């Protein structure tokens, strides 16, 4: 059976091309999101949106900003964990924090984060002697942490509240719960698989030793904390009328974020917003849009500007004072 599946996958990859499927999937997601967004924003009162943004309580905005900051702080541990996994214990946390924060802040906004984030990481880690293969391994391990966290949150969240997922995928509640349980079972199976023996993937100089059972659980915790902080930030900015509880908002938020990620749209533009507006239909459209705009300001635009300033200042100092190592490896 496995040989048959491999043969089918090989035929499909050679005759059709997986990249074409990815492009088609991205275009489909963007098109559907565009239609939903048009229907939701058609006839929207811009003045009401601006008024709703102005009337959001400062305390809620401040708490949302705090949760965003905590989320990006957690992202720095994606890189630190990956560095330790590939055996580069000589790279200190401050370098991992710089690479993690700037790569994600830029990748979130530019799109195609696998490539943009990888380029930023290589620019920083190369000063510590890491080569392209090692940076690729870091990106892989960090990505694995991201997907393990997403699988856990999505699986447990939808199993608990499948109605929230139905607002995104339009599937029956029972089917959403069954899919969620299947995701959790796959996740448990993966943890058990890496727990029983050392696991390697890849070949030649690109072999990566996967984190063992306890370290995989640590990956899951890091991913959960990251996503929980982001979801809490969003929850602080949506209308405070108790139409949805936190779990429902978190499930819809993470699902919308993943759709934006799969679309490769910069910052999930159109896709994330369309999914949120379409799924959280009990909220007033103008008030919800105001919350989404504030979230974009806090989570996307502000870290993007900060990361560009940090990288710009770093480059300027390195050029003006090349003898100063900053985050480069000491001699």
**pLDDT of amino acid 42:** 65
| DSSP notation for 58-86 | HHHHHHHHHHHHHHHHHHHHHHHHHHHHT
331 belongs to a structural domain: no
User: Count of alpha carbons within 13 Å of 21, Cβ hemisphere only?
Assistant: 8
- Spell out a b/e string for 148-171, using b for 16 or more CB atoms within 10 Å of the CB, else e: bbbbbbbbbbbbebbebbbbbeee
CA 125 to chain CA centroid, nearest Å: 21
257 belongs to a structural domain: yes
In this structure, what is the dihedral angle of CA atoms 128, 133, 135, 140, given to the nearest 10 degrees?
-150
304's tokens: 């993007």
329 belongs to a structural domain: no
197 belongs to a structural domain: yes
Residue at token pair 């103008």: 286
**pLDDT of amino acid 18:** 47
> pLDDT, tens digit, for every residue of 50-78?
888 888 899 999 999 999 999 999 999 99
**pLDDT of amino acid 5:** 44
Please report which residue ranges of 42-172 form alpha helices under DSSP H. 46-55, 58-85, 93-110, 113-125, 132-160, 162-169
Q: Under a CB-based contact definition with an 8 Å cutoff, are residues 80 and 100 in contact?
A: yes
**pLDDT of amino acid 34:** 61
- Residue ranges in the chain modelled with pLDDT below 70: 1-43, 111-112, 204-205, 322-331
Taking the model in full, what pTM does it have? 0.84
CA–CA distance, 2 with 21 (Å, rounded to integer) = 22
**pLDDT of amino acid 99:** 94
326 belongs to a structural domain: no
- DSSP-based three-state secondary structure for 18: helix
Return the HEC string of 223-266. HHHHHHHHHHHHHHHCCCCCCCCHHHHHHHHHHHHHHHHHHCCH
- Spell out a b/e string for 213-235, using b for 16 or more CB atoms within 10 Å of the CB, else e: eeebeebbbbbbbbbbbbbbbbb
Dmax (CA) for the chain in angstroms is 63
Domains of the chain: total: 1
CA–CA distance, 101 with 124 (Å, rounded to integer) = 11
Cα separation values, 277 from 11, 99, 272, 292, Å: 40, 33, 9, 9
330 belongs to a structural domain: no
Q: Under a CB-based contact definition with an 8 Å cutoff, are residues 283 and 40 in contact?
A: no
CA–CA distance, 146 with 140 (Å, rounded to integer) = 10
**pLDDT of amino acid 1:** 42
CA–CA distance, 244 with 253 (Å, rounded to integer) = 12
Q: Under a CB-based contact definition with an 8 Å cutoff, are residues 111 and 266 in contact?
A: yes
**pLDDT of amino acid 2:** 43
**pLDDT of amino acid 40:** 60
User: Which domain range does residue 316 map to?
Assistant: 2-320
């Amino acid at each position: 059976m496995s040989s048959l599946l491999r043969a089918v996958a090989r035929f499909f990859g050679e005759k059709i091309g997986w990249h074409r499927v990815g492009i088609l999937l991205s275009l489909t997601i963007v098109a559907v999101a565009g239609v939903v967004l048009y229907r939701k924003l058609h006839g929207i009162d811009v003045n009401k949106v601006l008024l709703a943004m102005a009337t959001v309580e400062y305390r809620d905005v401040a708490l949302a900003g705090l949760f965003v900051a905590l989320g990006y702080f957690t992202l720095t541990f994606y890189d630190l964990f990956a560095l330790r996994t590939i055996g580069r214990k000589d790279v200190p946390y401050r370098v991992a924090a710089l690479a993690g924060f700037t790569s994600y802040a830029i990748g979130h906004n530019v799109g195609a984060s696998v490539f943009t984030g990888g380029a930023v990481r290589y620019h920083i880690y190369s000063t510590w002697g890491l080569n392209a293969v090692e940076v690729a391994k870091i990106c892989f391990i960090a990505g694995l942490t991201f997907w393990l966290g997403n699988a856990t949150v999505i699986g447990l969240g939808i199993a608990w509240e499948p109605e929230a997922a139905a607002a995104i995928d339009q599937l029956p509640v029972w089917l959403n719960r069954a899919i969620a349980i299947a995701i959790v079972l796959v996740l448990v199976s993966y943890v058990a698989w890496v727990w029983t023996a050392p696991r390697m993937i890849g070949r030649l100089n690109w072999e990566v030793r996967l984190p063992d059972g306890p370290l995989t659980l640590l990956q899951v915790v890091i991913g959960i904390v990251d996503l929980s902080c982001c979801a809490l930030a969003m929850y602080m900015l949506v209308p405070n009328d108790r139409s949805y509880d936190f779990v429902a908002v978190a499930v819809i938020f993470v699902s919308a974020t993943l759709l934006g990620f799969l679309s490769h749209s910069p910052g999930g533009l159109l896709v994330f917003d369309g999914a949120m507006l379409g799924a959280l239909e009990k909220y007033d459209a103008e008030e919800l849009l105001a919350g989404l705009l504030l979230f974009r300001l806090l989570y996307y635009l502000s870290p993007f500007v900060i990361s560009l300033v940090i990288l710009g200042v770093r480059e300027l100092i390195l050029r003006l004072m090349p003898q100063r190592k900053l985050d480069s490896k000491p001699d």
